[in-house]
Amino acid sequence: MNRHAQLVTAALTVSAALLLTACGSEGDDSSSDKIAGADTGATNSASPSVSASADGSDRPEIKLPDDMKMVFEGQQTGDAIKDAVLADNARAVSTVWQAMAYGNLKKSGMGFYYTGAALTGVYDYAKSNIAKNVSWAGTLRYYDRRVTVFDKASAAMTYCVDESKADLKDRKSGKRQGTTTSSDSYVFYNAGMKKDKAGVWQIWDLSEDRGSQKCRP
């Protein structure tokens, strides 16, 4: 998957997200916007999810359109901390796609699950693609998800993403772009995560290895 691979999972890579922002619409003035939910100690303004988390945090609602599906493998390890990291990582990824699917940054929830440079990157990426009416449809599979816990408030997570069954689409017309599967359709990610005062595991750092041998079938 060539063009799809360059756009879709790049939303989860800070460096790629910032690069794509520079290619956005000239009329897109992202510098004047305040990132929703990014204030210290503030919670996101979106409605809380109907699915309560184990820690009781008032998480923003995440609801994706029917044609945008994600499969997260290995959600339960039996270790409470690892399971919490896995769950919040899945929610974090979903907030970026929610923003693009509905063209709404304020209620996306990105500011709840991302922080620092990672938050700036995904926010600017989503804003740029919303301006271009770019979204996606199909299925993304997240697999071989592994968590390393350093202490009660810091962890690292690695995982693979299979993009071969998803297409870019025009958000307004709904027209989908054809998929071409290649080695670049399989991506390896390494995420740095830390637990905030509310008990949410936030992504603060992320790196990508597209076409990684670790993720190819």
- The predicted pLDDT at position 41 comes to 34
Residues 196 and 71: their CA atoms lie apart, in Å, by: 26
In a domain, 216, yes or no: no
Q: What is the mean pLDDT of the chain?
A: 79
Hey, is 130 helix, strand or coil?
A: helix
- The predicted pLDDT at position 207 comes to 85
State percent of the chain over pLDDT 90.
63
In a domain, 217, yes or no: no
- Res. 181 pLDDT band, cuts 50 70 90: confident
In a domain, 7, yes or no: yes
- Res. 54 pLDDT band, cuts 50 70 90: low
Residues 44 and 111: their CA atoms lie apart, in Å, by: 7
Q: How far from 81 is each of 50, 53, 144, 155, 194, CA to CA, in Å?
A: 22, 13, 17, 9, 11
In a domain, 38, yes or no: no
> CB–CB of 194/203 below 8 Å?
no
Number of Cβ atoms within 10 Å of the Cβ of 1? 25
Q: Please state the domain count of the chain.
A: 1
Given a cut of 80, whether residue 19 has pLDDT beyond it is no
> CB–CB of 165/141 below 8 Å?
yes
Check residue 115 and report its DSSP letter: -
| SS3 track for 132-146 | CCEEEEEEEEEEEEE
Q: Read off the CATH number of the domain in which 92 is found.
A: 3.10.450.50
Could you tell me the residue range of the domain that residue 140 belongs to? 3-23+64-210
Can you tell me which residue has the tokens 């693979």?
A: 160
In a domain, 187, yes or no: yes
Q: What are the residue ranges of helices labelled H in the chain? A: 3-7, 14-22, 80-102, 110-113, 116-131
Which of 10-24, 25-39, 54-68, 130-144 has the highest mean predicted lDDT (pLDDT)? 130-144
Question: Token pair for residue 194?
Answer: 């830390």
